A and B are shown apart, each in its own frame.
Chain A
Amino acid sequence: KAGVTQTPRYLIKTRGQQVTLSCSPISGHRSVSWYQQTPGQGLQFLFEYFSETQRNKGNFPGRFSGRQFSNSRSEMNVSTLELGDSALYLCASRNSNSPLHFGNGTRLTVT
């Protein structure tokens, strides 16, 4: 089975721009969750999608949004980028009782 695929691997944006990150889950996995990882804050939960519906949301501003498509692929969008949004964004997929399977992440740098 192919693993979780995230694109792109690296992104450089400037403040005020917006960005869209993509995640393709493991085939058959219907849950996709997103995490922000920074050196000082560890893994921070952004949101989780299941069957195209947002199931849970972390404590992030509305500039962070996401969606899930009928094939379970997911995208997250960050608008009006700030320097503090520089981070590794990780996507993870799972089935109902399985552990999380993470992708390699997208390294976002905001200048």
Chain B
Amino acid sequence: GQQVMQIPQYQHVQEGEDFTTYCNSSTTLSNIQWYKQRPGGHPVFLIQLVKSGEVKKQKRLTFQFGEAKKNSSLHITATQTTDVGTYFCAGPGNQFYFGTGTSLTVIP
């Protein structure tokens, strides 16, 4: 069946450092979505990418969809303590296939 993997599983960074999480799907995706879950919270939708090679920015966050539409990345520039949480990618299919998530810790 379809699988979506994310690396790394955990990432600790000093505040101000950059952070990147990578998402890889076993199949081609029609689109990919990213969600953020704060500690103790629930996943919240961040963005959707649809086109091959698409790049979208939200302030310090840059999202990229691969040319083959099988991988994606989220890059955060100059992390802040408010960026703490787990970032999930999700690809639609018969269901939404969520990646394993990357838990980001930002050390002040």
Contacts and interface: CB of A to CB of B under 8 A. Distances in A.
Contacts of A56: 94-95
A7 interface: no
Interface string A15-50: 000000000000000000101000000110100100
B91 to A, nearest CB: 12
A99 B98 contact: no
Q: Which of B41, B43, B48, B99 has the most CB of A within 10 A?
A: B43
28 contacts: A33-B95, A33-B96, A35-B98, A42-B88, A42-B98, A42-B100, A42-B101, A43-B43, A43-B88, A43-B98, A43-B101, A45-B95, A45-B97, A45-B98, A48-B95, A56-B95, A58-B95, A99-B33, A99-B48, A100-B33, A100-B35, A100-B45, A100-B90, A102-B43, A102-B44, A103-B42, A104-B42, A105-B42
Interface of B: 33, 35, 41-45, 48, 88, 90, 94-101
Interface of A: 33, 35, 42-43, 45, 48, 56, 58, 90, 92, 99-105
